[in-house]
């Protein structure tokens, strides 16, 4: 049976991603993803391998905007294991990207979902959820857009 604290620890890991993006606190991504994460994003033609490469790519993508990410509908399944539990999560999101410079006052909003595979690693889970089995990190992420509304120009680095 899954530890009920693990559900909150997983939600916290996924939420921490949004906080990292919106505050541009890039080292937080190392607490969200495994070192060797496999990530597929609509803005990147090829999969992104590793948290360092993912962090650099996200920083580049979000450099020209201020963001606000909100998580909504979520479905979690934890697969308990005697060695290391894993989980699958589907989380709907809304990401608002606010323009700067010549794009001040304009925005583009992305509606989509994160499809994640997570692993539980040993460690003190107090930072994410006291009582959790361990620290949950995303080992695989696929991002899909349902749609984008607004001025795509805000995503360019044009002053």
Q: What topology does CATH give the domain 4-155?
A: Nuclear Transport Factor 2; Chain: A, (3.10.450)
Higher model confidence: residue 56 or residue 157? Answer: 56
Q: Please, which residues have CB within 8 angstroms of residue 65's CB and are 6 or more apart in sequence?
A: 97, 98, 99, 100, 154, 155
What's the mean pLDDT when you consider all of the chain?
Answer: 92
- For residue 72, which of 86, 58, 87, 90 has the smallest C-alpha distance? 90
Share of the chain above pLDDT 70, in %: 94
Q: What is the pTM of this model?
A: 0.93
- The arithmetic mean of pLDDT across residues 113-132, rounded, is 83
The Cα 87–Cα 3 span in angstroms is 12
Regarding beta strands 135-150 and 33-40, do their DSSP bridges make them parallel or antiparallel, or are they unpaired?
parallel
- The arithmetic mean of pLDDT across residues 55-63, rounded, is 96
Query: Which residues is 121 bridged to in the sheet?
Result: 135
Band of pLDDT at residue 1, cut at 50, 70 and 90: low
Task: Tell me which residue has tokens 């080292």.
Answer: 27
Q: Is the pLDDT of residue 159 over 70?
A: no
């Amino acid at each position: 049976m899954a530890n009920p604290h693990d559900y909150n620890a997983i939600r916290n890991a996924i939420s921490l991603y949004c906080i990292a993006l919106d505050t541009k606190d890039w080292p937080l991504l190392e607490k969200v993803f495994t070192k060797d994460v496999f990530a597929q994003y609509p803005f990147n033609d090829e999969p992104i391998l590793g948290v360092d490469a993912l962090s650099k790519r996200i920083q580049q993508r979000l450099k020209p905007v201020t963001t606000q990410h909100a998580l909504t509908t979520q479905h979690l399944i934890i697969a308990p294991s005697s060695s290391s539990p894993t989980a699958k999560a589907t989380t709907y999101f809304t990401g608002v990207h606010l323009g700067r410079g010549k794009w001040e006052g304009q925005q583009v909003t992305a509606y989509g979902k994160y499809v994640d595979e997570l692993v539980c690693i040993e460690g003190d889970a107090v930072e994410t959820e006291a009582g959790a089995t361990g620290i949950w990190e995303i080992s695989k992420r696929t991002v899909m857009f349902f749609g984008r509304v607004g001025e795509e120009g805000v995503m360019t680095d044009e002053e």
